Structure formats: structure tokens, C-alpha cells
Amino acid sequence: MYTHFLIFQTRLKNDKYIKNETKLNEYSKEFLLKLGKLAFDNLEKGNLIFYEQDLTENDIDVTEASVYSGVCTEVFKEEYGLYQEKVYCFVHLSIQEYLAALYVFLSNSSARLLKTAVDQALKSKNGHLDLYLRFLLGLSTDSSKTLLQKLLGQTRISSHTTLKRSLKWLLGQTTAKYIRKKIQENLSPERTINLFHCLNELGDNSLVEEVQRYLNSGSLSAEDLSPVQYSTLAFVMLISDKELDVFDLKKFIRSDKEHWRLLPVVKNSRTALLNSCNLTEKCCEALASALRSNSSPLRELDLSDNDLQDSGVKLLSTGLEDSHCKLGILRLNSCNLTEKCCEALASVLRSNSSPLRELDLSDNDLLDSGMKLLSAGLGDSHCKLEILRLAGCRVTEEGCSSLASALRSNPSHLRALDLSYNHPGDSGVKLLSAVLEDPSCKLEKLKLNSCNLTEKCCEALASALRSNSSPLRELDLSDNDLQDSGVKLLSAGLEDSHCKLGILRSVIFVKSNSCSSLASALRSNPSHLRELDLSYNRPGDSGVKLLSAVLEDPSCKLEKLK
């Protein structure tokens, strides 16, 4: 950016004052080098203002420096001190730092020089050489060659650009290795963060790993960083060319809640774990912006156990509906949500561009009214959701009716549904069981643990298991009082040749009598059951003997028994 700026100002000056192009180019080069030497000498001393004597010592004509159009007029400005003595300074400190780096680079660019510059910057107590170092490293890379030729001409930088590409690569690698070594030393956060910037200037792909290693080393806690340093750290991680596989905000939790400053890093991460981070709806606008970013690699976002509320989810939904959003997994369990958020989420599900495949809304008071809204989205032909978790959402039979209608829609992509810790009742399970027999239903996994079910629902479930079109492969009925009579009904479905169930979890209160029914089902040919969970039951030794005998049967395919 700074090289472009000087190119523009030089051309502006040339067009206005000098018509002889050869004379013009040569003069511009020499004048920039004089300014560069002035900038470097005074930067080392910490001087930000210059006197006429300083200009004269660097062979810079005072009048020319004051009135010369283009570079000098724009880069230089005059100010008057307390005693009306004329003084000079660059219009911005960064201009001085850039010109100083340009001068040093053109004077002698080598690995030793760059290492020396690193050491000098690290010794600075106030960081006055930090940006100068970053400019110098950036100028030493091959990517700066073309712009420098435009600024100074081919001849001036020929000695720096005739190096073989492999030699320039080695120069950058040697310097980067030296900087990575310095990062491991016990430096202040300011110095370390600047070294991260230096690695970025060199195009070093290990930047993100170095940041993570630094933060995970234990030598620095989140509390050691100031709010500004937090923001800087986020910027460093964002400008890296390499994507962050997993960004876990919990590692950066602070008592003053300043960790929100790291939220922009989400834009550069494939998986963002922001759960249990004391976030509120205020963070959702920034997250929505990240989701809308065309360059964001974000595929998984966990916001569980945060006080986002409905307003936060509505903000988040604006990003989820954007055509650039690539998010496939979203977790919003325990986020203090109500049925009011379901309309926005249903709109996301209906969106043709939404890539969402997994949604967790567990432990939120969505109620049946929320299920009705959400099901309108699930039943839409554009919805591609495959996994929906609704554990503990206060869903009753009415909510199950809405969900059953959505599951019948063609095509429905839903493969897994978790309704644990709800109140569907036996009648609600019957509604869902009827859907499982529908050829359009693709549900393979159904969780109904802790739903206060009785043996009355088992006949409907058994009918679904016997159905040739049932896609069900995993059924969880843990912590429901199904009794022996219910287990016998289920076993009748399990031993049917059409049953494809592979996993059956913890049917509570199974006694020795019902173990006989299960044993018979496991002997059926073919039986697809691979996993059986009978934890917290009372089969007795006799029941276990019955099951053990089945394990010796060639037709039994059980691989896991709890």
C-alpha cells in the first residue's frame, strides 16, 4: 500500500513539474533515498521532527523539501514550534518507518541484516522499530519486486532482484526460522505479537500454529493480554493465509469478558467452539457477518450454553440465509430460546441456499408452538437438514403431530431425530411410528429416552420395525417404563425378517421373562441387531444365561452388549 502511495505521488509530481522522463526517474530515485536515510537515522534516535540542519546533513535542499510538489509536499509537512522556529516531520509516522525500511533494504539486504533488524526491534522498550521491521521484511520478499521496479526502476533494484528464486526463498526461510525461535523466548506480549506480524510479512504458513503454540504453552494466560492486544491477536490470526481447523474461545476466557474481541477469528476457522463463553445476543451480528463472508471456511459453530435469546438467533439467521454461508452444523442448546426463534430458523431451513445439515436446539423452551413453526421449514422441499436435536424442549403429542407431518414430506432428508426428555406420550410415539412405515420417511435414528413412555407405545413401534419400508437403524428407549409386556411386543418386531434395526438402547425394567423374547429375536435369521443396551435392568442371572446362549448361535450378530 505504501509503495503504491509513493508511486502515485511521484507520478503526480512528475506530471506537474518535470517533463524530461529520464531526468525525472533518476531524480525521484535519489530524492527518495535521501528521504529514506533521513527517516532511518532519526527513527533510530526516536526523533519524529527535524530541523533545517538535519535536512542539510542529508543533502536535502530545504526549499525543495518545503515546496516540491508530489512526494515532498504530500509526504513532508512544515510545523512551527513554540519559538516560531521552522521544523519538519513526515505527515504520518508510518511514512517515516516505510522510507527507513526502503533505504535499509536498498542499502544491504541479507539474512544477517534481517536478523539484526529483528534483534534491534526486540530491544526497543517502546516498540518504535516494530513497524519498520515489518516493512523491511515485506520489502525483502519476492512479491515486492514488481512494485519496487515501478517505483525505482529496474537498474536501482537489479542487485536485489537478480538473486535466484531459491536463494530468496532461503533468505525468507532463514529469517522466519529465526523469528519462530525468538517467539519461544520469554518476551512481552507486545513483542511477540509483532513477531507474528513479521511471520505474516514473510508469508510464513506456520503463523497460526505459532499463535496456538504460544497461547497453549502456559507461559501466557488470557489475563496477561490487554484488550488492544486481544484485538491485535485476532487480526494476526485473521490475516494468515492458513485456515484454523478448530478455534476454541474457552481457552481465552477472561474475567472482564474481553474475550469477545477474538470473535472475528471465527471467519478464518473451519470449526468454532464458542460454547459456555458468557456470550449474549450482541455477538450474533458479528457472527452473522462472518457467515456471510465469501471467503469464510466456517463449517461448524457451537454456541451452546450462552444467553443468546431469540433476538440473537434472529440476527444469526440473516447470515445463515446468505448464499455465501457454508455452515453445516449449528449447536444452540441451552441458549435461553423460546418458540419465537423458530420462525427465523424455519426461514433458514426453507432457504434454497442454506447448507445446514445438523441443528441442535436441545434444552430450550420451544414448546409445541415452536415445533409447528419449525416443522413448516422441515417439510419444505428446499430443506436439507439431516440431524435435529430437540431434547428437553417441552414437546408433547401436538408437537409430534407437526414433526410427523414434516417427516412425511417428499423429499425429507432428516436421518436422526432426538426427542429425549420430552412429553410425547404413547400417542405421540404412535404418530411417529406410523411415519416410519411411510416409504418417503428416511429417519434412521430415533431417540426417545426419558419420555415417560409405557408398554402402550410398543405395539406401534413393533409395527414400524416389521415394515419393509422402515429405515430405522437405531432406537433409544432408555429410562421408560415399558415393562415385560412392552419388551415382548418389541421383540416380535425385532425378529421379523424385514426389521433392519442395528442398535436398541436400554429398555428399562427388563426382567428374566422378557430376556427370553429378546433371545428369540436375536436368533431370527437374519437379525441385524449389533448393539443391545440393557443397563439399569433386572434380567437376573437366568436372563443373562438365556442371552449368553444366543451369542453362541451362528445366526446371532450381536457385537456389543451392555
Q: Are 87 and 78 in contact (CB under 8 A)?
A: yes
Residue 67 confidence (pLDDT) above 50? no
Domains and their CATH numbers in the chain? 1-185 (no CATH), 264-561 (3.80.10.10)
Residue 1 confidence (pLDDT) above 70? yes
Name the band, by pLDDT with cuts 50, 70 and 90, for residue 234: confident
Average pLDDT of every residue of the chain: 84
**pLDDT for residue 132:** 94
Residue 364 confidence (pLDDT) above 90? yes
Name the band, by pLDDT with cuts 50, 70 and 90, for residue 216: low
61 vs 384, which has greater pLDDT? 384
Q: How large is the average pLDDT for residues 332-354?
A: 95
**pLDDT for residue 173:** 80
The burial of 126, by beta-carbon neighbours within 10 Å (0-12 exposed, 13-18 middle, 19 or more buried), is given as: exposed
Name the band, by pLDDT with cuts 50, 70 and 90, for residue 69: very low
d(CA 422, CA 446): 13
Q: List alpha helices for 248-396, DSSP H.
A: 284-292, 309-320, 342-350, 367-378
**pLDDT for residue 261:** 74
Which three-class secondary structure state does DSSP give residue 195? Answer: helix
**pLDDT for residue 428:** 97
Tell me, what DSSP letter sits at residue 155? Answer: T
d(CA 65, CA 72): 6
Residue 560's φ and ψ, nearest 5 degrees, are -140, 125
Q: List own/partner pairs for 538-545 with CB under 8 A and 24 or more apart.
A: 538/509, 538/510, 538/511, 538/512, 539/510, 539/511, 539/512, 539/515, 540/511, 540/512, 542/512, 542/515, 543/510, 543/511, 543/512, 543/514, 543/515, 543/516, 544/515
30 vs 282, which has greater pLDDT? 282
Q: Are 196 and 204 in contact (CB under 8 A)?
A: no
Tens of pLDDT, residues 264-311: 888 888 999 999 999 999 899 889 988 998 888 899 999 999 999 999
Q: How far is CA 87 from CA 81, 84, 483, in A?
A: 7, 9, 94
**pLDDT for residue 18:** 57
